[in-house]
Chains A and B, each alone.
Chain A
Amino acid sequence: MKILVAIKRVIDPDARIRLNADSSGVEEESVEYKVNPFCENAIEEALVLQGAHGGEVVLVTVGPEDVTQTIRSGLAMGADRAIRIEGVDTELDSDLVARILHKVVERESPNVILLGKQAVDGDNNQVGQLLAQYMGASQACFASEVVLEGEQAKVTREVDGGLETISIPLPAVITADLRLNEPRYASLPGIMKAKRKPIDVLTLDELGVTDTALKIEVLSLELPPERQAGSMVESVDDLLDKLKNEARVL
């Protein structure tokens, strides 16, 4: 069983961010990066499946040299090795990432490809679906349970208003939802071992991705409006009055 997990780093979701001068992106200086939370669910699931079925867990990400720390924290959780594809965030969109991953899948021939359902920065929720399309493989997105049975994956999906359980043939693309599992904490020995695990670095050329045109252009970004300060009400009547007449929720 070989499991490929595509991971992405995101700006620490708890940190406050600033826009750059022309509002085309986020100020990258002095921001902290973390593994996208849904990607952590994907790594965790890969490790659980590996525990049950054996085999290898390979991480892949697209990014510049300094994503290495993000990769190492995935390796620290227990993945065996990693592949980094040289790339710059601003020169990527979901479609290009999916095409890059498709090439990686062709090289590695994994049985299962796990991804987070979306990255919490762009919230695009597209790469898994596009990748399955390029591979011509089955997909099961928003997984909350994954069971491998021979050449099939039985996946429970979180859909609006309930759960859907489907069975799809391997190799397949599965994207992780939050309730799939609780990602483990990277242990100190795990973190120390991760230092010595191999990370292969490939350029888009080496991978055979020649068409690097983007299909999406970001025109501008805007921060949400500042939160207004709250106010104290004197009595329950006051509160009801404000809910009725100011907030208009009653």
Chain B
Amino acid sequence: MDAMTLDDIIGWKPLLTDEERTIRDSVKRWVTDRYMPRITDDFEQGIFARELIGEIAELGVLGANLEGYGCAGASHVAYGLACYELEAGDSGLRSFVSVQTSLAMFSIWRYGTEEQKQRWLPEMAAGRAIGCFGLTEPMHGSDPGGMTTRAVRDGDDWLITGNKMWITNAEFADLAIVWAKTGEDAASIRGFIVEKGMPGYEAHNIPGKMSMRASATGSLVMDQVRVPDANRLPEAKGLGGPLRCLTNARYSVGFGVLGAARFCLDQAVAYTQERTQFGVPLARKQLIQQKLADMGARIVHGCVLGVHYGRLKELDALHHVQVSLFKRDACQTALDAARDARAVLGANGITTEYHVIRHALNLESTYTYEGTHEIHTLALGRALTGESAF
């Protein structure tokens, strides 16, 4: 029988709008033509392709699913599909877009003043201003409510002191959305736009990563940074502020990692059709097919869920527990698929030339960031039982 494409098995084509299909095709083409030729080098050297930011912005993916302020206003499913194709390139590329769009821009779009929106969002959509999102701290990861970064009122300003860690885009960000306590408890958490060049603010790169090498991950060091009250996001109060941003971004992570998984499956299928051992192509071996079938089935489940939840998001009816489920399972599916693809490619699988090891390494990060697998398991467990086991 003729081979079917994964798209055919997912069966999403008839369910997507023309715009959604065209957006996906356009992003896919850009990734193939412009990004794939350089990713192996970037990954080996440990750099993010900053020269491409202008092109990425021109594609219109920055702020893609936001309305107004120079943003495309595309559907959430369209944005998800764009992430799916970006991450087939590299998780670092999609992370750049997710952080800019779903964390930094979204924080301002959702919680900012009209002046803040006017000032930052068009610049950020055009890629002229890059944002990062500072929530995690060296001592507080899964439990951000324990953060120690403090903002102390001083006349019309705030003085912010503290360290943020593992911050994507930190190194070259023009603005950081920094979450800090204004009092003792988590309810006092507020968000601030801290701008590059403000005295006392520094960003550093974190060296030695074996995952997300083509993404800039850094730390923010803030020592009595004077930030005007006009830079506070007035509508964000308490831990719910940053958590809602994360829920928004996790949706793009879920879609994204499935794109990386799809890439790994395609690689594994193509490889096993060509590679002959014991006199026949590996694709004719049952143990190989079992791996491919398991990968394929789980990617299909993920994509179907992604479109379903995307449509719910369009109705503004997507619950954060649903996003936890989607992020958790998609990341596990992708990590397993990348590891299995790596195994199926044998020794070739460990080289950057075949890309699957790069995806497998990156997907260790997606398993952990935006809420670890375990934390989302606890979120789902709490939803099912009503009991908190955090």
For the complex, is B145 an interface residue (Cβ under 8 Å from A)? no
Q: For B2, what are the chain A residues with a Cβ–Cβ distance below 8 Å?
A: 16, 18
Q: For A185, what are the chain B residues with a Cβ–Cβ distance below 8 Å?
A: 26, 29-30, 58-59
**CB atoms of B72 and A189 under 8 A apart:** yes
B15-73 interface (Cβ within 8 A of A): 18-19, 21-23, 25-26, 29-30, 58-61, 64, 71-73
Q: Give the complex CA separation of A191 and B82 in angstroms.
A: 13
Mind listing 18 A-B residue pairs with CB under 8 Å?
A: A16-B2, A18-B2, A69-B18, A72-B22, A73-B22, A76-B26, A185-B26, A186-B22, A186-B23, A187-B60, A188-B26, A188-B60, A188-B61, A188-B74, A189-B72, A191-B22, A191-B60, A195-B19
Task: Report the interface size for chain B: residues with CB under 8 A from the other chain.
Answer: 22
Residues of A whose CB lies within 8 Å of any CB of B are 16, 18, 30, 34, 68-69, 72-73, 76, 185-192, 194-195
What residue in chain B is nearest A190 (Cβ atoms)?
B60
Q: For A30, what are the chain B residues with a Cβ–Cβ distance below 8 Å?
A: 8
**CB atoms of B22 and A187 under 8 A apart:** no
Q: Give the complex CA separation of A188 and B59 in angstroms.
A: 6
**CB atoms of B18 and A72 under 8 A apart:** yes
| Max chain B Cβ within 10 angstroms of own Cβ: one of A34, A68, A185, A190 | A185
Q: Is the contact region of chain A dominated by helix, strand, or loop, or is it mixed?
A: helix
Residues of B whose CB lies within 8 Å of any CB of A are 2, 8, 18-19, 21-23, 25-26, 29-30, 58-61, 64, 71-74, 78, 82
**CB atoms of B21 and A69 under 8 A apart:** yes
**CB atoms of A192 and B74 under 8 A apart:** yes
**CB atoms of A192 and B72 under 8 A apart:** yes
Q: Give the complex CA separation of A67 and B82 in angstroms.
A: 23
Q: Nearest Cβ distance between residue A199 and chain B, in whole angstroms?
A: 12
Q: For A194, what are the chain B residues with a Cβ–Cβ distance below 8 Å?
A: 19, 22
**CB atoms of A191 and B19 under 8 A apart:** yes
What residue in chain A is nearest B276 (Cβ atoms)?
A229
Q: For B82, what are the chain A residues with a Cβ–Cβ distance below 8 Å?
A: 188
Q: Give the complex CA separation of A195 and B78 in angstroms.
A: 14
Q: Give the complex CA separation of A18 and B82 in angstroms.
A: 30
Q: A18-B2, A69-B18 are in contact. Are A187 and B59 (CB under 8 A)?
A: yes
Q: For A190, what are the chain B residues with a Cβ–Cβ distance below 8 Å?
A: 60
What residue in chain B is nearest A18 (Cβ atoms)?
B2
Q: For B64, what are the chain A residues with a Cβ–Cβ distance below 8 Å?
A: 188
Q: Give the complex CA separation of A68 and B30 in angstroms.
A: 23
Q: Give the complex CA separation of A18 and B8 in angstroms.
A: 16
Q: Give the complex CA separation of A54 and B68 in angstroms.
A: 27
Q: Give the complex CA separation of A73 and B8 in angstroms.
A: 22
Q: Nearest Cβ distance between residue B87 and chain A, in whole angstroms?
A: 17
Q: Give the complex CA separation of A194 and B21 in angstroms.
A: 13
Q: Give the complex CA separation of A75 and B25 in angstroms.
A: 15
**CB atoms of A191 and B23 under 8 A apart:** yes
Q: Nearest Cβ distance between residue A63 and chain B, in whole angstroms?
A: 15
Q: Give the complex CA separation of A186 and B60 in angstroms.
A: 9
9 closest A-B pairs (Cβ-Cβ)? A188-B60, A188-B72, A187-B60, A189-B72, A186-B26, A69-B18, A189-B60, A185-B30, A191-B22
**CB atoms of B30 and A192 under 8 A apart:** no
Q: For B19, what are the chain A residues with a Cβ–Cβ distance below 8 Å?
A: 72, 191-192, 194-195
Q: Give the complex CA separation of A16 and B3 in angstroms.
A: 10
Known pairs A72-B22, A185-B29; list 9 more (Cβ under 8 Å): A76-B22, A185-B58, A187-B59, A188-B60, A188-B82, A189-B60, A192-B72, A194-B19, A195-B19
| Max chain B Cβ within 10 angstroms of own Cβ: one of A72, A76, A187 | A187
Q: Nearest Cβ distance between residue A68 and chain B, in whole angstroms?
A: 7
Q: Give the complex CA separation of A186 and B8 in angstroms.
A: 24
Q: Give the complex CA separation of A202 and B229 in angstroms.
A: 60
**CB atoms of A187 and B74 under 8 A apart:** no
